[in-house]
Structure 1
Amino acid sequence: MVTSDFLPGAQRTAQLSFSDQAAWIVKDEVVGGWVLQIGGVEQSHVDLEDPTRLVHEYLRRMGNVLDAVWPAGQPLRIAHLGGGALTLVRYVQVTRPGSEQVVVEIERELPTLVTTALPLPEGTVVEVVSGDAREELAAMEGRRFDAIVLDVFSGEESPSHLATKDFYLEALAHLEDDGLLLVNVGDDAGQRFLAAQVGELEGAAEELGLSGVWTLTHASLLTTPADGNMVLIAGGALSSPKVEQWREAWKKAGPHPAAVLDPTETAAAFDR
């Protein structure tokens, strides 16, 4: 378990050894809460007063997926590949107390910085593992999760060994039969990397006999070229007869305007 008492003047910055960039925790003067910056770029937002407030659109969509697929309050076993400011860890703890979570973060200094400056909600049970996402997941042989969240991709500079069908096969193998893999993909207006990831994940899902890849995003990104994030999901849960009910819930929950593509629509949108 990672815990920390909030102390005025607590550590707010760290030099990250893997990327050799500076990480900062700074106050968000516009929307409130706190922001994790790495190399001067905003990576995560945390609201200590209300951890269910997810400011970044892609995280809100991921939260909506978890909310709809599993009964409210049911504890889950979740692996987070990429930790950031542990925003989704906090959300899961508050909405599903008793959940068992593990975070794999390659920047070993980051979790300490985050939990010192921004304490986790009381009762959070989270195992923090320092290392490469693929290597550390492979080391969890025999361990299975309800959900795996992959949040390390940012365009064509993303780790190439994670952006493959083989890695997706490895990740899907760590899911329960009714589990879900949620992948955040940030890309530029050309969406070449995103289209490639759809193809890799589709290939893995097909090999395992799964129903295919769903996409959740801001509707404008499907029609107007722009930088942005999309959430790809795959896994046995999507074979449920409730999937159309979930689709309507995801669209209704937003952020708006929301688009939710089923596997056929996803394949058509990214066939390039």
Structure 2
Amino acid sequence: MSEQSRGRRRGGADDHPSVTLSNGFRAVVEADRHQPGAFTLVVDGTPQSHVALDDPRYLSFEYVRRIGHGIDLVAPEGAPITAVHLGGGAFTLPRYIAATRPSSRQQVVELESDLVEFVREQLPLPREAQIRIRHGDAREVLAKLPPGLKGTVDVVVVDVFSGARTPAHVTSMQFYALVSGLLSATGIVAANVADGAGLAFARSQAATLSALFAHVALVVDPQVLKSRRFGNVVMFASANPLPFDRLPRLVASDPTPAKVVDGAELRAFIASAPVVTDQTAVASPPPARSIFQVKPGASE
């Protein structure tokens, strides 16, 4: 019996499949009580991914839906793209791209091999999807990707978390310089940034992307923008103008409306926030346990 198998619990109706990862965190797959055929991956008590196996086009989490809108606009509808995902989770966006853009080429980088095996067992990937999974630290693997991939990628999704926090080494200008080397001329970066009061971390991330890319836009809940609550700020960046004429309408019509911040408003948002380097990088701030955490027994 493998270490993973020993770490995994299997129970009855009041239990959920789970695995203990190498970092000590417990990963659990919980059925969505409100949507048959849908599941949530929870890691260290934090919901990480939502997957609707019967309808992979459905994106439940607010920030994932916002990234999905950006992916929808990066190329003509249905056209295959090349995508790299830094951070795997339950592969929500790779599944989405495979469903909406068949024949797309995708690479997913995930540190936790046990998590990948667990998710593939509990929430199998579509057989026809062209998704290659690479194991290892996002930044280390990024530097070792095949040379032929450089300059060809349409979308790089940066959604790297250890528990509820983004590690410092994937927040710096040096890290994003590696990301930019993958992109095609019109390729975009889509980064998920979690922050709280004051948004100091998000402002510095926006400053960092703006130092490397000529075009940057944020998508954010107005209440988060006003620093009234902890939340996600989705950041898009590209060397060329973002193809986002329709994006403001799309995000405004979501169940949780958001707004696009760019141009002068983005410059005001950044203000004097510093560009992050390897020497100054810090992990994203932790949320209060009451914000994103799953209460014990809440779904049992």
Further displaced range: 215-224 or 70-79: 215-224
Partner of 1:259: 259
Given that residues 155 and 187 in structure 1 are in contact (C-alpha distance below 8 angstroms), is that contact kept between their aligned partners in structure 2?
no
Gaps of 5+ in 1: 1-8
Given that residues 14 and 24 in structure 1 are in contact (C-alpha distance below 8 angstroms), is that contact kept between their aligned partners in structure 2?
yes
Post-superposition Cα deviations, 1:18-62, rounded to whole Å, max 9, x if no partner, equal x21111111122455101011122111111111111110011011
Structure 2: how far apart are the matches of 1:222 and 1:166? 26
Partner of 1:117: 122
Counting only pairs closer than 5 Å after superposition, residues 36-115 of structure 1 correspond to structure 2 as 36-115=41-120
Given that residues 184 and 231 in structure 1 are in contact (C-alpha distance below 8 angstroms), is that contact kept between their aligned partners in structure 2?
yes
Q: Kindly name which structure, 1 or 2, has the bigger radius of gyration based on alpha carbons.
A: 2
Output the amino acid matched with 1:132.
D
Given that residues 199 and 227 in structure 2 are in contact (C-alpha distance below 8 angstroms), is that contact kept between their aligned partners in structure 1?
no
Partner of 2:26: 22
Q: CA deviation at 1:77?
A: 0.7
Counting only pairs closer than 5 Å after superposition, residues 148-167 of structure 1 correspond to structure 2 as 148-153=156-161, 157-167=165-175
Partner of 2:185: 177
Output the amino acid matched with 2:202.
L
Q: CA deviation at 1:166?
A: 1.2
1:227 is aligned, of 218, 226, 230, to 230
Given that residues 109 and 135 in structure 2 are in contact (C-alpha distance below 8 angstroms), is that contact kept between their aligned partners in structure 1?
yes
Structure 2 SS opposite 1:98 = coil
Runs of 4+ displaced beyond 4 Å = 153-157
Post-superposition Cα deviations, 1:208-234, rounded to whole Å, max 9, x if no partner, equal xx23x2001112211242110010010
Partner of 1:188: 196
Post-superposition Cα deviations, 1:125-158, rounded to whole Å, max 9, x if no partner, equal 1111110111101101521311100001589942
Q: CA deviation at 1:73?
A: 0.6
For normalisation by structure 2, the TM-score amounts to: 0.79
Given that residues 44 and 163 in structure 2 are in contact (C-alpha distance below 8 angstroms), is that contact kept between their aligned partners in structure 1?
no
Output the amino acid matched with 1:172.
S
Q: Quote the sequence identity (%).
A: 35
Structure 2: how far apart are the matches of 1:135 and 1:154? 16
Q: CA deviation at 1:190?
A: 3.1
Structure 1: how far apart are the matches of 2:179 and 2:125? 26
**Cα distance change, pair 36–251 in 1 and its aligned pair in 2 (3 A):** closer
Q: CA RMSD in A?
A: 2.2
Q: CA deviation at 1:99?
A: 0.7
Output the amino acid matched with 2:26.
A
1:214 is aligned, of 204, 217, 220, to 217
Structure 2 SS opposite 1:123 = coil
Structure 2: how far apart are the matches of 1:199 and 1:266? 9
Given that residues 25 and 163 in structure 2 are in contact (C-alpha distance below 8 angstroms), is that contact kept between their aligned partners in structure 1?
no
Further displaced range: 188-197 or 89-98: 188-197
For normalisation by structure 1, the TM-score amounts to: 0.86
Partner of 2:294: none
Output the amino acid matched with 1:218.
D
Gaps of 5+ in 2: 1-9, 274-300
Further displaced range: 137-146 or 152-161: 152-161
Post-superposition Cα deviations, 1:197-256, rounded to whole Å, max 9, x if no partner, equal 111111122xxxx23x200111221124211001001013x426x54x233443455344
Output the amino acid matched with 1:239.
P
Structure 2 SS opposite 1:52 = coil
Output the amino acid matched with 1:130.
H
Structure 2: how far apart are the matches of 1:225 and 1:156? 19
Given that residues 68 and 250 in structure 1 are in contact (C-alpha distance below 8 angstroms), is that contact kept between their aligned partners in structure 2?
no
